[in-house]
């Protein structure tokens, strides 16, 4: 048998493999750069665990203030203090009411955060520090209930937080936030490119400066920088 048929067969196989490869790549990389691939439903489900302000995404479960206090003492107090007052440079979680109009406000869960879902979601994703995702739903509900108690948002030590009553909790600062309305801005509505050059007539003038506060308090005083606060 001559070598020609074998060469033809090999070429045909390579061509078929090449076509298959191109087809597979095109199917898995639809973007303009053909990078990456479409995430599978299982991969999306693994990451799709955010909690919405209306309670969407909450798991079944429940936990009381008393349960949360024990968990907080064992897992959180070393950094945040027994009463959420913060230890060293770690964030303060409670207090700060009435400070938002000060030069250096103390932004805590009770004084600043608009939605309880952020508390649950953050504890669920990132806490305890160094051992994230080790808490079950009941633990997270209990810790969230205790944080509400530390901020005087609930006052009953027997209070139990669950998916059923989660959306009933109203955070003190919720009315001081406004909805994101960027999609109503002119360049979004007109679907045009935003101005990138000579957009404002006249010379450029600095009207405001960004300020990042030192997260490490270096002194006392009522107006001293609060740990974890950023302007």
pLDDT digits over 37-53, tens only? 888 899 988 888 889 99
| Strand duo 160-162 + 62-64: pairing | antiparallel
10 burial (CB, 10 Å; 0-12 / 13-18 / 19+) is exposed
Does 18 score more than 70 pLDDT?
A: no
Q: Please state the separation of Cα 42 from the chain's center in Å.
A: 21
pLDDT digits over 59-74, tens only? 999 999 999 999 999 9
pLDDT digits over 75-128, tens only? 999 999 999 999 999 999 999 999 999 988 999 999 999 999 999 999 999 999
pLDDT digits over 150-181, tens only? 999 999 999 999 999 999 999 999 999 988 88
Residues whose CB is less than 8 angstroms from the CB of residue 158 and which lie 6 or more positions away in sequence, other chains included:
64, 65, 66
Give me the mean pLDDT over the 32-41 stretch.
80
Task: Give the integer Cα–Cα distance in Å for 94 and 18.
Answer: 62
Residues whose CB is less than 8 angstroms from the CB of residue 205 and which lie 6 or more positions away in sequence, other chains included:
none
């Amino acid at each position: 048998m001559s070598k020609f048929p074998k060469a033809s067969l090999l070429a045909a196989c390579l061509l078929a493999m090449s076509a298959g490869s191109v087809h597979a790549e095109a199917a898995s990389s639809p973007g303009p750069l053909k990078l990456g691939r479409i995430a599978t439903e299982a991969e999306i489900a693994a990451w799709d665990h955010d909690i919405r302000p209306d309670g969407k995404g909450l798991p079944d479960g429940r936990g009381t203030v008393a349960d949360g206090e024990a968990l907080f003492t064992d897992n959180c107090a070393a950094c945040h203090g027994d009463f959420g007052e913060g230890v060293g440079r770690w964030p303060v979680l409670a207090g700060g009411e009435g400070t938002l109009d000060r030069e250096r406000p103390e932004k805590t869960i009770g004084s600043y955060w608009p939605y309880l879902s952020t508390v649950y979601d953050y504890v669920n994703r990132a806490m305890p520090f160094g051992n994230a995702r080790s808490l079950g739903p009941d633990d997270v509900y209990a810790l969230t209930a205790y944080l509400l108690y530390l901020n005087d948002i609930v006052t009953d030590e027997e209070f139990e937080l669950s998916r059923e009553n989660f959306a009933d909790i109203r955070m003190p600062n919720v009315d001081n936030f406004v909805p994101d309305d960027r999609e109503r801005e002119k360049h979004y509505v007109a679907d045009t490119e935003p101005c990138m050059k000579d957009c404002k007539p006249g010379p450029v003038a600095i009207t405001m400066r960004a300020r990042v506060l030192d997260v490490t308090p270096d002194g006392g005083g009522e107006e001293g920088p609060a740990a974890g606060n950023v302007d």
